Homo-oligomer: A and B are copies of this chain.
Amino acid sequence: MNCYLKKAEENLLPLHEYTVMPEYEKRTLQTGDSITLDLGNYYVGYFSFVMDWVDVYIDAPVKLAVKFCEGEKEIDADFSTQTSFLSSWLQEEIIHVDFPGRYNMPRRYACRYVKITVLFSPQKLTLSRFAFRATTSADLSRLTFPALSDSRLADIDKVSVNTLKNCMQRVFEDGPRRDRRLWIGDLRLEALANYYTFNNLELVKRCLYLFAASEKNEHGFVCSFVYENPVFVSGSDTYLVDYALLYAATACDYVLHTGDKETFLDIYPVVKAQLEGAHSILDEDGIISRQSGWFVFIDWYPSIECIIPLHGVYLYTLDLMVQAVEKLLPEDAAMFRKWLDEGRTNAKKVLYDAENKRFSNSRDKNQYSVHSAAWMILGGVLEAAEAREVLTAALNSPESKKPVTPYMYHYVIEAMIKIGMKQEAKSLLTEFWGEMLDWGAVTFHEMHIPGQPDFSAYGSYLTNSLCHAWSCTPSYFIRKYWTK
């Protein structure tokens, strides 16, 4: 066990548990019958129920199908015909219940609805005393809700917090129905929202140490994800260069928020290596270059090009590094400052189409996207006035590619706030996240395209994650910028 892993373990606190018992009357069922429970909210944890007999003791195993649904559309869908590469995450169990009494389902589930179908029972049976033992590492007693005059914003805040709470487990998970692995892209946004809500600092620290402990590739980049339970395993088949940089950004956020220099300096060699790795792959024009066998994840927009956004992530992270080490490590700060200035200058020269006021370049097949505009602005390539023009045009142009994930929308909103478009940012956030509320969301979804409720990047809407970490940041914006 390396030293970082030991520290990650030290910061694993016990989860909070609370049991939700939806009020349902005892139901009598027989072969072919089913019952659907609405837990009233979304929970992550462990389900149990009591099976009992009616007139005659049940003298053979009862076969039940128990289905856990994030959303209503799953309740009547046939999971057996799902062929998406994520379909084994659909939550349906076929179980045999041998005895009357409480039955504890074997796995952890994430859901709002539970549907139980009696596939076979030799006699009538009853189901009752349903219980969902929910877990989270978010301490609900720490949570307060800001006084907001805008009730729509207040609703969005509540659903954001609920999303975050359910994703906070032994690590910051991305979608609790799925991987239970720790991804950097999600971690960063969850950590930001966490600072303004539950403020669980041990969890952030734990996750920073987990990545510090992960395998690195030949350029020193950390893996984009790790598994930590039941054993620690690095996701060493996936190096996303932007995620590696955002790991450094997450470390900067942490020290800027907490002032915990000790932890920051402890992992600093790994943090610094991410920037050095990116700097080492600048091309002859000083623009970050594509490397074979590496990937970039900017958004789930199909075939989105990513060199311009990635260069933006590089600059954005350098900016944070300068702030984080300015006083701690002035020499390094100066180096990062120099790289940042050069990177901005090169980006403006090479990637910016000043005539058309857009970021578009042959490196990205001349693709025009909101993504490139937002990341260039976050990288500080343009002055505010010009940036406003560029971003507004990209958002409004019928030609431009638009984000499909709340993840990318987070960075668009952040870019707008950076360049003084606070009101527009609030409107966009309210409109984008608000539409999910109109569709019945109690947690925010992994993907969202306005007006397209069935959109999926995975071939089937059913495999989308309806409680997704990277969608929880409205609470960050609301509480940081829009609270009286």
Contacts and interface: CB of A to CB of B under 8 A. Distances in A.
Interface stretch (A39-47, A55-63, A360-368, A381-389): A55-63
A86 B60 contact: yes
Contact of A63 (B88, B99, B101, B122): B88
Contact of A89 (B61, B107, B233, B237): B61
Looking at chain A's contact residues, the main secondary structure is: loop
Given A56-B237, A59-B179, A231 B88 contact: no
Interface residues of A, number: 35
Copies in the complex: 2
Contact of A100 (B94, B98, B230): B230
Nearest to A225: B59
A227 interface: yes
Nearest to A93: B96
A235 interface: yes
A181 interface: yes
Contact of A88 (B56, B61, B89, B229): B61
A102 to B, nearest CB: 9
Contacts of A4: none
Contacts of A88: 60-63, 96, 120, 122
Contacts of A60: 86, 88-89, 178-179
A269 interface: no
A107 B235 CA distance: 34
Contacts of A120: 88
A178 B59 CA distance: 9
Contacts of A122: 85, 88
A59 B96 contact: no
A235 B58 CA distance: 11
B107 A98 contact: yes
Contacts of A86: 60
A7 to B, nearest CB: 22
25 contacts: A57-B227, A57-B235, A59-B181, A60-B86, A60-B88, A60-B89, A60-B178, A61-B88, A61-B89, A62-B88, A63-B88, A88-B96, A88-B120, A93-B96, A94-B94, A95-B106, A96-B107, A98-B108, A98-B180, A99-B229, A99-B230, A100-B230, A100-B231, A101-B230, A106-B106
Given A93-B96, A100-B230, A101-B230, 7 more contacts: A57-B227, A60-B178, A60-B179, A62-B88, A88-B120, A98-B108, A106-B106
**A-B CB proximity, top 5 nearest:** A94-B94, A60-B88, A61-B88, A57-B233, A101-B230
